[in-house]
Structure 1
Amino acid sequence: MDRDQMNMIVELMEVSFVLVETALYLNTHPNDERALRLHNNASTQYVQLEEMYQARYGPLKNTGMSRYPWAYIDEPWPWEINFNFN
């Protein structure tokens, strides 16, 4: 895995974290327009990042479109990535 691919995965994880946290917050604060804008912007950003990643490196989930041959099983699996940025 090259540095660009790892950076994209880290960015996807960061944006995904924002999506989860803002969704949880909005469950209890549904009238917070600022939080809703943040959530919607993160959602748009996540979709764009996911599309860019999958165009370059293949599917992130087994529910997405795949190239031939089936590429989802290619290594490394997400939990096998060494996130050592030293």
Structure 2
Amino acid sequence: MKQLPPEYYTELEEIQAVDFVIVELVLYLHTHPDDLEAVKQYNEYVKLSKGLKKEFEKKYGALTSFGYSYARYPFDYKEAPWPWQV
């Protein structure tokens, strides 16, 4: 498996942390749908997550497949490690 720089892991962990907050907010909003501040916070974290993922993919390649991420040329999605392998 190819060697990855330390910032790969730091940036991937940041994405995971932000996405965890999104999941927790969704669970909260299921029982508190009228909480405007929670909805605002959810939208802020979704925007943050999308930006972090876009920058990550520019540097290191796709985080997912199946049409959620653009491909690079030459197609490199088969190259290890995949995010779930680190």
Q: State the TM bucket, normalised to the shorter chain.
A: 0.7 to 0.9
What CA RMSD, in Å, does the superposition of the two structures yield over aligned residues? 1.0
- Aligned structure 1 segments of 4 or more residues deviating by more than 3 angstroms: none
Structure 1: runs of 5+ lacking an equivalent: 82-86
Q: Whole-Å Cα distance in 2 between the matches of residues 79 and 55 of structure 1?
A: 18
Given the two structures, how large is their TM-score scaled by the length of structure 1?
0.87
Paired amino acid for 1:4? E
Given the two structures, how large is their TM-score scaled by the length of structure 2?
0.87
Aligned residues of 2:63 and 2:82 also touching (Cα < 8 A): no
Structure 1 residue 35 corresponds to structure 2 residue 38: yes
Residue number in structure 1 paired with 2:77: 72
Structure number with the bigger relative contact order (C-alpha 8 A, sep ≥ 6) is 2
Percent identical among aligned pairs is 33
Residue number in structure 2 paired with 1:50: 53
Q: By how many angstroms is 1:79 displaced?
A: 3.0
Q: Whole-Å Cα distance in 2 between the matches of residues 74 and 80 of structure 1?
A: 12
